[in-house]
Amino acid sequence: MRDGGRKGSVRVHRGRTAVAEQSAREAAPPQSPPGGPQPPRVPTVIVDGLHVVYRVYGSGTGRGNATAAFRRLLLRQQAPTVQTVHAVKGVTFTAYRGEAIGIIGSNGSGKSTLLKAIAGLLPAERGRVYTDGQPSLLGVNAALMNDLTGATNVILGGLAMGMSQEEIQQRYQGIVDFSGINDKDDFISLPMRTYSSGMAARLRFSIAAAKNHDVLLIDEALATGDLAFQKRSEERIRELRKEAGTVFLVSHSNNAIRDTCDRVLWIEKGELLMDGPTDDVVKAYESHSDGPGPADPGPPGPAG
């Protein structure tokens, strides 16, 4: 496991209470079932009793700016209220190399928050996240520069992912072809602000998918492309899995989850309701949300 990019160590996002030894025990590969030796399963992500809490300062009071803070200092008033949103509550699981894991749940249930915490972009309030290798979060909001051309963004994105200039040069055409951006015209030479949201999402996915990731976290990326692109990206996710990485996919498309993932985590109100084979979990989720379509019972609101 890796620590901040160094090979051979553990990268840990630490909360306050969890004990490293306990998680190391959880990481131990399960016993081989009777009937023949199985290759050992290698854990890539261990989430141990993870809690994530957002704090919204001065929410709804209109007292959150610098002038108001100065005024409070002068008048010796109390600090503005802080509202907390307990978005992930005690989630625990271990992911193994070669797995593609879907994360499903209704709007506001904590899926994106969980992904960001695995990526190390949000701190744990309690609990820990261990990752083997560098996790890469590919979200529909992943930062590319809107005023720069698609071509420049391919180069910058590649450099940001740690690719060398030679690697980028070798893979440039493949990335552009995979994205399908230039299928109708020379859009890759135009600034990204001229792209539709689907085109921009396709380019983001194509840049990220050009590299083999230790742990690839995908937030709804598949839902944004057209049908042909969805098929291509599903295929690429399968390849990434074969190349020994672990893929997490957050999606409201149960079909994309079925086609891509062999294991699913169902999160509701920040809690892990179910963790198991795709068919079992998606079926339970569909019957809970009363139908095979995307579930949307509305945001649950701030939780405590």
Ligand X SMILES: Nc1ncnc2c1ncn2[C@@H]1O[C@H](COP(=O)(O)OP(=O)(O)OP(=O)(O)O)[C@@H](O)[C@H]1O
In whole angstroms, how close is the CB of 53 to ligand X at the nearest point?
Answer: 9
**In whole angstroms, what is the distance from residue 44 CA to residue 130 CA?**
8
**In whole angstroms, what is the distance from residue 226 CA to residue 241 CA?**
23
In whole angstroms, how close is the CB of 112 to ligand X at the nearest point?
Answer: 3
The answer to whether residues 104 and 257 touch, using CB atoms and an 8 Å cutoff, is yes
In whole angstroms, how close is the CB of 271 to ligand X at the nearest point?
Answer: 12
**Which positions lie near ligand X, rule CB under 6 A?**
54, 56, 85, 87, 105, 107-113, 299
Q: Among residues 115, 277, 133, 149, which one has the least CA distance to residue 211?
A: 133
Q: Distances from the Cα of 235 to the Cαs of 84, 100, 173, 239, in angstroms?
A: 40, 12, 18, 6
To 10 degrees, what angle do helices 227-242 and 197-209 make?
Answer: 20
Tokens in use for 246? 């672990």
Q: Which is nearer to ligand X, 55 or 193 (CB)?
A: 55
In whole angstroms, how close is the CB of 135 to ligand X at the nearest point?
Answer: 16
| 25: Cα separation from own chain's centroid | 25
In whole angstroms, how close is the CB of 273 to ligand X at the nearest point?
Answer: 13
